[in-house]
């Protein structure tokens, strides 16, 4: 178990870190930063780092998770740092590198955030979570949630491309499509989580997301060091297409850690690139504003970058750029699409439009001589163009289990300029509509893995509410209090076994008619069969049925 502290960015209060701490106990401030033992970590890394796994978890000491046993990984991180020589020749700078984040498990740099966020949820024993997304977070969280058995509700704004939405549903996530802007979608997701008492992922507001992005800086410095034949090296510039600002803030912090550990001798300048159709940070910076002027209706077609209201990320980044150098630049969609083609044709890198925005930004920075020809530049290629398997997947997934629900983000413009509120009544109705009639299932099973597997299979069917009990006695109490519509029962459990649970149920007039499906690993004797005969709906042998058979047996019984 790791032990470390955090500091509140608002009042400087320091306390020991507990998992998923949301706000400062002193002032309620949400912006918390972890404090690690950097000196000790520098010594450990000096001896051990080279022999560790090539994932973000090689930097374990500086990541906010308490127990390694909770890591949920798909091999994220340690993406290649590629020199782009043709692009470099064209722009007259021979030191341009691309950090190829397309090569993550779900093809965007959100995999770093997802791996850490889902691991932290697992550590906090969270079983169901809500996230708002412009696409890539939902895809990545869906993959990691599927892997760890957490049920996910993804709220996507209506501009998320169809292909990305389909990818999210493939993982079994519940998708709520909100016909409004991303900022409004975030608010609606928060209301839904509140209404359902579910865990809400707070994105950039949580220290987890920012800390995850640090690993980009660690890797860049380690990889550039290898190229230069030193242990670590910092580039002069880090360039990224920015929406909420989690990437640049995290990357800055990563380089700052390395600097404080005396592993690098400078902190790179950060270039924030936004699209003209949604450039609240760039515009506010050039107007000299201390807080960002939100963009109400983003007009860029590049939906991934649709954060119109950057909140506290903007003043933070503004300070960084003013103190340490850097730039705020905007480019238009057309330039970005052109760079998409250029990067594919000159370098063999096919990136999604949002990633090409960073490349268009680099071109502009070179042309305006903000970046000099001798400076080393790292551009984040943050995501891949999305593979399209339309013909195959369309019918199979989207039509068979339609999980995409629409709700209207009923927006009312107030008199005050800039203020937007949701018509409460309409929203509440929309949220209630998501609560269709559900049936409840109690799983009584002593093996945690088997229980998790059953829950995982069943939670993808929206219509089931799931209760679990780890032994016969708890199971009986659960059946008595919840009166579920169906019981999934294991036979072999210590103390009160499944047979006893069944006997107790049948002896109780109120519980006698609740259907039971037995799932067992026991080789049944003829005496066992006799005890079950006529009293259960069906019997499934562990390890011998596939998930669709289970779902089918259940829906037959509950019909
Ligand atoms: C999320 C995302 C961005 C913007 O990320 P920030 O939160 O602003 O750092 C850029 N490109 C891609 C591909 C993304 O998925
Ligand atoms: Zn505080």
Residues in the chain: 559
Q: How far apart are CA 509 and CA 25, in angstroms?
A: 50
Residues with CB under 6 A from ligand 1: 108, 110, 136, 241-247, 304, 352, 354-355, 382-383
Task: Give, for ligand 1, the residue of 99, 102, 107, 108 to mutate: max count of ligand atoms closer than 8 Å to Cβ.
Answer: 108
- Predicted local distance difference test score (pLDDT) of residue 29: 93
CA of 76 to the centre of ligand 1 (A): 16
Q: What is the number of the ligand closest to the CA of 275? A: 1
CA of 213 to the centre of ligand 1 (A): 11
Tell me which of 92-106, 177-191, 239-253 is least confident. 177-191
DSSP assignment string, 357-398 = HHHHHHHHHHHTTSS-TTS-EEEEE-BBPPP--HHHHIIIII
Shared domain check, 511 and 442: yes
Q: Which residue has the higher pLDDT, 38 or 161?
A: 38
- Predicted local distance difference test score (pLDDT) of residue 66: 97
pLDDT tens for residues 78-88?
Answer: 999 999 999 99
Structure tokens at 482: 């919840």
Place of tokens 């929203």: 427
Number of domains in the chain: 3
Tell me which of 27-36, 66-75, 239-248, 396-405 is least confident. 396-405
Selection from 524, 510, 517, 522 nearest residue 458 by Cα: 517
> Residue 489 in contact with residue 462, Cβ under 8 Å?
no
CA 166-147-123 angle, to 5 degrees, is: 125
Going by alpha carbons, the residue nearest to atom 15 of ligand 1 is 136
Q: What is the number of the ligand closest to the CA of 28? A: 2
Shared domain check, 384 and 235: yes
Ligand 1, residue 101: give the atom nearest the CA: 13
Rounded to the nearest angstrom, the gap between the alpha carbon of residue 419 and the centroid of all alpha carbons in its chain is: 29
Shared domain check, 223 and 364: yes
Q: What is the number of the ligand closest to the CA of 383? A: 1
Place 423 in a pLDDT band, splitting at 50, 70 and 90: low
Shared domain check, 180 and 145: yes
Structure tokens at 514: 């609740």
- Predicted local distance difference test score (pLDDT) of residue 465: 86
Shared domain check, 337 and 282: yes
CA of 14 to the centre of ligand 1 (A): 30
Residue 51 lies in a domain: no
Q: How far apart are CA 259 and CA 429, in angstroms?
A: 52
CA of 201 to the centre of ligand 2 (A): 20
- Predicted local distance difference test score (pLDDT) of residue 374: 97
Whichever domain contains 366, its CATH number is 3.40.50.1100
Q: How far apart are CA 446 and CA 459, in angstroms?
A: 19
150, 184, 253, 415 from 456: Cα distances, Å: 8, 30, 36, 47
Q: How far apart are CA 44 and CA 66, in angstroms?
A: 18
Q: Other CB atoms closer than 10 Å to residue 329's CB: what's the count? A: 25
Q: What is the largest CA-CA distance in the chain?
A: 86
Mean pLDDT of the chain: 90
Place 388 in a pLDDT band, splitting at 50, 70 and 90: low
- Segment 523-549 shows an average pLDDT of 89
pLDDT for residue 73 is more than 70: yes
Helix (H, G, I), strand (E, B) or coil at 407: strand
CA of 304 to the centre of ligand 1 (A): 7
Q: How far apart are CA 215 and CA 270, in angstroms?
A: 16
| φ, ψ for residue 48, nearest 5 deg | -115, -20
Q: Which residue has the higher pLDDT, 547 or 512?
A: 512
| φ, ψ for residue 489, nearest 5 deg | -125, 130
Shared domain check, 430 and 534: yes
pLDDT tens for residues 106-129?
Answer: 999 999 999 999 999 999 999 999
134, 204, 236, 300, 394 from 308: Cα distances, Å: 12, 14, 29, 11, 32
State which residues form the domain around 87.
70-107+211-390
Q: Which residue has the higher pLDDT, 431 or 69?
A: 69
Residue 20 lies in a domain: no
Q: What is the number of the ligand closest to the CA of 10? A: 2
CA of 373 to the centre of ligand 2 (A): 44
Rounded to the nearest angstrom, the gap between the alpha carbon of residue 428 and the centroid of all alpha carbons in its chain is: 26
Last residue of a domain, one of 208, 225, 240: 208
pLDDT for residue 400 is more than 70: no
Q: How far apart are CA 37 and CA 278, in angstroms?
A: 39
Tell me which of 135-149, 167-181, 244-258 is least confident. 167-181
Residue 33 lies in a domain: no
CA of 155 to the centre of ligand 1 (A): 17
Q: How far apart are CA 342 and CA 67, in angstroms?
A: 44
- Predicted local distance difference test score (pLDDT) of residue 399: 47
Q: How far apart are CA 100 and CA 82, in angstroms?
A: 7
Ligand 1, residue 203: give the atom nearest the CA: 7
Last residue of a domain, one of 347, 372, 390: 390
Shared domain check, 549 and 448: yes
**Ion ligand 2 contact residues with beta carbon within 5 A:** 8, 10-11, 13, 24, 26-27, 29
- Segment 255-268 shows an average pLDDT of 97
Going by alpha carbons, the residue nearest to atom 12 of ligand 1 is 382
Shared domain check, 296 and 365: yes
Q: Which residues contact 200 (CB under 8 A, 6 or more apart)?
A: 129, 130, 131, 189, 190, 193, 194
128, 129, 405, 423, 428 from 433: Cα distances, Å: 19, 19, 10, 16, 9
Helix (H, G, I), strand (E, B) or coil at 138: helix
Shared domain check, 336 and 364: yes
Q: How far apart are CA 173 and CA 154, in angstroms?
A: 7
Last residue of a domain, one of 390, 424, 439: 390
pLDDT for residue 154 is more than 80: yes
- Predicted local distance difference test score (pLDDT) of residue 459: 82
**Which of 35-44, 166-175, 525-534 tops mean pLDDT?**
35-44
């Amino acid at each position: 178990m790791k032990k470390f502290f955090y500091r509140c960015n608002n009042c400087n209060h320091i306390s020991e870190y507990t998992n998923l701490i949301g706000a400062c106990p002193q002032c309620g401030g949400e912006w918390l930063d972890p404090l690690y033992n950097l000196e000790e970590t520098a010594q450990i890394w000096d001896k051990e780092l080279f022999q560790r796994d090539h994932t973000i978890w090689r930097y374990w000491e500086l990541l906010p998770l308490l127990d390694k046993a909770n890591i949920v990984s798909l091999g994220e991180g340690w993406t290649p740092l590629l020199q782009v020589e043709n692009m470099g020749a064209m722009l007259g700078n021979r030191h341009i590198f691309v950090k190829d984040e397309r090569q993550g498990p779900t093809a965007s740099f959100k995999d770093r955030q997802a791996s850490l966020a889902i691991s932290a949820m697992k550590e906090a024993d969270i079983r169901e979570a809500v996230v708002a997304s412009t696409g890539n977070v939902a895809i990545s969280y869906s993959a990691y949630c599927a892997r760890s058995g957490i049920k996910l509700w993804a709220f996507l704004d209506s501009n998320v491309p169809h292909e990305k939405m389909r990818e999210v549903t493939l993982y079994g996530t519940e998708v709520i499509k909100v016909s409004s802007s991303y900022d409004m979608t975030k608010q609606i997701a928060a209301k839904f989580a509140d209404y359902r008492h579910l865990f809400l992922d707070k994105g950039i507001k949580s220290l987890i997301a920012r800390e995850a992005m640090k690993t980009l800086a660690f890797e860049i410095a380690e990889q550039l060091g290898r190229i230069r034949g030193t242990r670590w090296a910092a580039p002069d510039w880090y360039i990224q297409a920015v929406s909420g600002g989690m990437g640049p803030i995290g990357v800055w912090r990563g380089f700052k850690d390395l600097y404080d550990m005396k592993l690098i001798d400078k902190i790179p300048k950060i270039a924030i690139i936004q699209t003209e159709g949604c450039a609240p940070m760039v515009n506010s910076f050039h107007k000299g504003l201390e807080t960002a002027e939100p963009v109400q209706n983003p007009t860029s077609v590049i939906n991934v970058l649709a954060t119109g209201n950057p909140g506290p990320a903007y003043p933070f980044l503004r300070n960084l750029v003013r103190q340490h150098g850097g730039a705020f630049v905007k480019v238009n969609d057309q330039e970005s699409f052109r760079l998409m083609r250029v990067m594919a044709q000159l370098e063999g890198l096919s990136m999604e439009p949002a990633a090409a925005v960073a490349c268009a930004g680099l071109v502009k920075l070179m042309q305006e001589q903000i970046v000099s020809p001798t400076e080393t530049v790292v551009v984040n290629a943050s995501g891949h163009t999305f593979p399209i398997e339309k013909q195959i997947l369309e019918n199979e997934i989207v039509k068979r289990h339609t999980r995409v629900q629409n709700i209207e983000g009923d927006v009312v413009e107030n008199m005050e300029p800039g203020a937007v509120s949701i018509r409460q009544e309409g929203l509440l109705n929309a949220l209630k509509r998501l609560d269709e009639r559900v049936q409840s299932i109690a799983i009584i099973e002593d093996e945690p893995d088997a229980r998790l597997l059953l829950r995982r299979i069943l939670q993808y069917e929206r219509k089931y509410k799931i209760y679990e009990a780890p032994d016969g006695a708890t199971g009986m109490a659960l059946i008595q209090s919840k009166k579920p519509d169906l019981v999934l029962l294991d036979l072999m459990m210590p103390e009160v076994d499944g047979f006893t649970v069944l006997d107790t149920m049948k002896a109780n007039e109120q519980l006698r008619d609740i259907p039971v499906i037995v799932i067992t690993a026991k080789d049944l004797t003829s005496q066992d069969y006799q005890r079950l005969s006529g009293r259960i709906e069906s019997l499934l042998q562990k390890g011998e049925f596939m998930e669709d058979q289970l779902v089918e047996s259940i829906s037959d019984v509950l019909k």
